Amino acid sequence: MKPVKIGLLGLGTVGGGTVNVLQRNSEEIARRAGRPIEVVHAAVRSLGRERICDTQGILLTEDPFEVVRNPELDLVVELIGGCGLAKELVLEAISLGKHVVTANKALIAECGNEIFAAAEKKGVSIFYEAGVAGGIPIIKALREGLSANRIEWLAGIINGTGNFILSEMRDKGREFSDVLKEAQELGYAEADPTFDVEGIDAAHKLTILASIAYGIPLKFDKVYTEGISKITPQDVIYAGELGYVIKHLGIARRSQAGIEMRVHPTLVPASNMLGKVDGVMNAVMVNGDAVGNTFYYGPGAGAEPTASAVLADVIDLVRSLEGLAAHRVAHTGFAADQLGEDNLLSIDQISSAYYLRIEVLDRAGVMASVASILGELDISIEAIIQKEPREGETRIPLILLTHVVEEQRLNQAIERIEALKPVSGSVVRIRMDHLD
Ligand code: NDP
Ligand code: HSE
């Protein structure tokens, strides 16, 4: 049978992994897709660079538009990243009637509404499974496998680099910068690693998940985003003493008030499955009204795990090239005229339980003053620990866990606590979620 010819834009970590997996599993993939699939054309920034894959038989170019405009290609795979050149290339491919597979979550989260509209107009598809949680087929699970459910909430560890850093710091006491460097060498990190560390990458992914879960347009700018760079080893230890671990979670939740989308460090019970997800592994827990809790786990980054998702999309597209286009699932699982009105909540409007660390003078009555502020604002306390003063210090950390309260009310309490004379510095606040 005539092979399907595809072009790759980018031959770095993910592009190289894609070529390797396709070459290694070519027979199995051809049996599944119904036709052999061949990479015949690929664009790179620098032809002289060493590659992780064998490029024999692939025409290489430094002009990515050459690939997009190659009339022999049935589809192109965008693996360059970012929203500049990648967007131009994808829109050009669409205008030429080509289907596109991409691993670029920034592109989908920030420009997806425009790209999907252009693709729908032209009758082509944009597949982006690799954009969220690396090798875990979470897009397919949420968009198709759970399509009978009303999705109540989802919570996930959706950045491999960040989870790798947190795990290595906690388990091996390694320095933040040292672990980040290793994540970059392993090909996990984004071109700009602040995207990983400050939660921007996770916010891109959460935007996509929320759009599929709730049938709303992609609204990246509405995601509340907080990174992991301010987490101290101290908080990791205290959380552990209380039976929690700190994870960087993306959370989308539907309540009567509206839809929450937030990315921030979160205390989760150490016994919860999400609390046990370490290293570069990712996991997403999805709660649907019919199915209850479901859990998806796997590698969140890296060459071949990501290639697994890229190629699954390519195979899906190849299967539908022969006249099945009309049955293809809409880009977010909801046709454009079915997208709902969204009522996206700001972080002040959410409710959560909280971990608070307050540095106070070690003297009588301080704990009572803090407790009375919380009591006056009707914020109930789940647990308190007061640590011994460190040698030579007169201040002690007071650790408090609260029950669920509106963030707005907690902000008032924090403001009043910080104004107390015996309290120094800012109160450290980390949201908690029991994931129930
Ligand atoms: P890399 O930096 O490893 O690869 C990028 C590729 O794009 C390189 O081959 C580079 O060429 C090429 N490129 C860059 N600029 C140009 C240009 N102007 N013209 C032609 N080619 C160009 O990135 P990754 O493979 O890690 O990531 C690719 C995409 O996949 C990103 O969107 C990323 O967010 C996403 N992703 C990455 C994952 C991972 O684990 N790494 C996991 C999931 C998604 P050259 O090699 O010559 O420099
Ligand atoms: N930089 C991303 C991560 C790649 O570490 O999760 C996978 O999307």
CATH at residue 118 = 3.40.50.720
The pLDDT, as a whole number, for residue 115 is 98
The pLDDT, as a whole number, for residue 327 is 62
The pLDDT, as a whole number, for residue 328 is 74
- Examine the domain organization and report whether 158 and 60 are in the same domain: no
| Best residue among 107, 167, 196, 197 to mutate for probing ligand 2, ranked by most atoms within 8 Å of CB | 196
Q: For atom 19 of ligand 1, which residue has the closest CA? A: 45
Closest C-alpha to 280, from 112, 120, 432, 133: 133
Closest C-alpha to 64, from 44, 38, 49: 44
- Judged by DSSP in three states, 250 sits in strand
Residue 43 belongs to some domain of the structure: yes
- Examine the domain organization and report whether 88 and 130 are in the same domain: yes
Residue 198 belongs to some domain of the structure: yes
Tokens of 71: 């009339």
The pLDDT, as a whole number, for residue 323 is 60
- Examine the domain organization and report whether 150 and 278 are in the same domain: yes
Closest C-alpha to 135, from 316, 326, 370, 298: 298
Residues flanking ligand 1, CB < 6 Å: 10-15, 43-46, 49, 64, 79-81, 85, 103-104, 130, 134, 187-188, 190-191, 301-302, 306
The pLDDT, as a whole number, for residue 67 is 98
Domain count, the chain: 3
Q: What is the pLDDT of residues 311-323, one digit of tens each?
A: 999 999 998 886 6
Q: Would you call 121 a catalytic residue per the annotation?
A: no
- Examine the domain organization and report whether 382 and 256 are in the same domain: no
- Examine the domain organization and report whether 291 and 424 are in the same domain: no
Residue 296: strand pairing partners: 284
Distances in Å between the Cα of 246 and the Cα atoms of 207, 221, 382 are 22, 25, 17
- Examine the domain organization and report whether 261 and 316 are in the same domain: no
Closest C-alpha to 54, from 93, 26, 85: 26
Residue 431 CA to residue 344 CA, distance in Å, equals 19
Q: Global pTM?
A: 0.93
Residue 46 belongs to some domain of the structure: yes
Residue 10 belongs to some domain of the structure: yes
- Examine the domain organization and report whether 147 and 293 are in the same domain: yes
The pLDDT, as a whole number, for residue 336 is 85
- Examine the domain organization and report whether 184 and 316 are in the same domain: no
- Examine the domain organization and report whether 227 and 100 are in the same domain: no
- Examine the domain organization and report whether 313 and 370 are in the same domain: no
- Of all residues in the chain, the percent with pLDDT exceeding 90 is 85
Residue 109 Cα to ligand 1 midpoint, Å, equals: 17
Task: Assign residue 181 the CATH number of its domain.
Answer: 3.30.360.10
Please, how many CA atoms are within 13 Å of residue 134, restricted to the half-sphere of its CB?
Answer: 28
Residue 345 belongs to some domain of the structure: no
9 is in an annotated binding site: yes
The pLDDT, as a whole number, for residue 364 is 87
- Examine the domain organization and report whether 230 and 97 are in the same domain: no
Q: What is the pLDDT of residues 197-210, one digit of tens each?
A: 999 999 999 999 99
Q: For atom 4 of ligand 2, which residue has the closest CA? A: 301
Tokens of 285: 């827990």
The pLDDT, as a whole number, for residue 106 is 98
Catalytic hit among 98, 140, 205, 247: 205
Residue 264 belongs to some domain of the structure: yes
Residue 80 Cα to ligand 1 midpoint, Å, equals: 4
Residue 21: domain span:
4-136+303-338
Residue 43 Cα to ligand 1 midpoint, Å, equals: 10
Segments of the chain scoring below 70 in pLDDT: 322-327
- Examine the domain organization and report whether 157 and 271 are in the same domain: yes
